[in-house]
Every structure is written in C-alpha cells, then in structure tokens.
Structure 1
C-alpha cells in the first residue's frame, strides 16, 4: 500500500481525483449557466431573480476553486480547459434562457446532476478515509439539497 503525502492510499485517491475533476467540469458549466441566466433574465421577477442568480454564481465560483484545490491536495491536476469541461460535463447547457421558470428549472436540473456526482464522491471518499473530501461533499450536498427544495417550492412543486 502506497500512501500520498497526506496519508491516504494513492490507489483510492486516484479515483477520487478523477471524480472530483468530473465534478469540477460540471460545476464550471453550471457556473456559466448561472452567469447566462443572470445576464439574460427578463420579466416581472427580474429584480429578485437577478440577485438570486448572482448569489448562486458567486457561490459556484467559490466551489469551483475549492474542488480544484482539493484535486491538487490529493496530488492530481485539475481540469482547466473548456474542451475538458465540455467532454466531462453532464449538466444541461442553458443557452439564451430569459424566462424565469426555464431558468429556475435549469438550476434544479443542474443541481440534480451535481448531487449525483457528489454522492458518488462521498461514498468513495468515505471508503478511502478521505475526511477532507468527505466533509466538502457533505457540505455541498446539504446546501444544494436546500437550494433544490427552495427552487422547487418557487416552481410550485414538491421535492
């Protein structure tokens, strides 16, 4: 068994690095979607949604950095090109969305994808005794579940 500098098995963290890079790519697309709907939102709910979307993209930008730095902490190299992101991303791409319900639906659909990836990483990091990644995923999941609930409530739907 070979350990990395922070005391984790290299064989287990290699898979976590790969999954974190997948999450990073998806977060980058999610972030850009949020920027797009922030810029393009129109209608009577503009003021409320414009501010909310800025809050969400600011948070996503922080998370992008956290994910990339965790990849580096584990000894990997974070993805950093749009080509890499497009290949690895599974979140839907929102183009020219200006209608409020479509914008909020894009957020719910994107978070649903991110949550699946994060739960996969959570399981792997638990198995690898990687508390740093585990804690990060747990925090992301808790926060995003609440955001999904709120967005679905805004849409008049239940979780």
Structure 2
C-alpha cells in the first residue's frame, strides 16, 4: 500500500531540493573564483580540477532544479536567493591554496550530509527518482571529497 504524501512532507522535500540548488549555485561561483585565482606550484593541477568541479556543479544545479520543477516546485533562481538559502558560504577572496582545497572538502562534507537527509525525505515521500538523484550526486561528491583530502594528505 502506497503512503500518502502530506503537504508538509512535500514542502520539506521542496525546501531540501531548493537548498541544494542554492548550495550548488554558490559552489559554482566559488569554484570559478578558485579556478581564476589559484596561484603557485599547484596551479596546473588545481586549475583543471576546479574547472571539472564547477562544470559538475552546474549540472547538479540544473538537474535538481528541473526535478523540482517537474514536481511542481519553484527553484531558487537568483544569486541573492541562493546566498540567503545556501548552507555553504561564498569565497572570501583571500584563501590560500590549502584553504581553497580544505574549504571545498568541508563544503562537500556538508552537502553530502544534507543529501543524505534529502534521500530520507524523498523516500518518506515515495519519491524514488529524487532519492536516486541525490544518491548519485552524493556518490560523486564523496569521491571528490576523498581526492581533495588526499591532496591535503588528510
């Protein structure tokens, strides 16, 4: 017997999805900042890695927003809205290379935790496609986080 979605559960799931649209929007800009301003001996390695990550962040923003639209929701679509809703912060502008990599690893940890909560929320709403979407994104972010931590020798 299928569970019935309550308005509150649907609202929570919509808010969860929107939080990730906001997070990936902020992450996208942060990664561009890091990509443009990385300096030093690791420039070539990190310049390419940051580009890979912002390209992936853009895909996640679009995929989550389109899923939210398909469910009748309204995705955040302004920078101000993203900054207000995101749980990660934008670049400060004075990060060292180690700070950039460490902050990204921390951001991915936070987003993975929220995605795990989103998976539970989606499953509670009998929304397996959204749960699967969040699971796929989390798996990718966990791999990137592992690589960033390896770079930092953590």
Global fold match (TM > 0.5): yes
- Within-5 A mapping of 1:9-158: 9=5, 11=7, 12-97=9-94, 99-157=96-154
Q: In structure 1, list runs of 5 or more residues that go unmatched.
A: 1-7
Q: In structure 2, list runs of 5 or more residues that go unmatched.
A: none
Distance 1:83 1:92 in 2: 12
Distance 2:24 2:123 in 1: 22
Distance 1:98 1:126 in 2: 38
1:98–1:42: structure 2 CA closer, same or farther, 3 Å change rule?
farther
| Alignment size in residue pairs | 150
Q: TM-score, normalised by structure 2?
A: 0.92
Q: Deviations over 1:113-154 (max 9, x none)?
A: 211221111001111110110100110111111111111011
After superposition, the CA RMSD in angstroms is 1.4
| 1:14 to partner: Cα distance | 2.5
Moved over 4 A (4+): none
Q: TM-score, normalised by structure 1?
A: 0.89
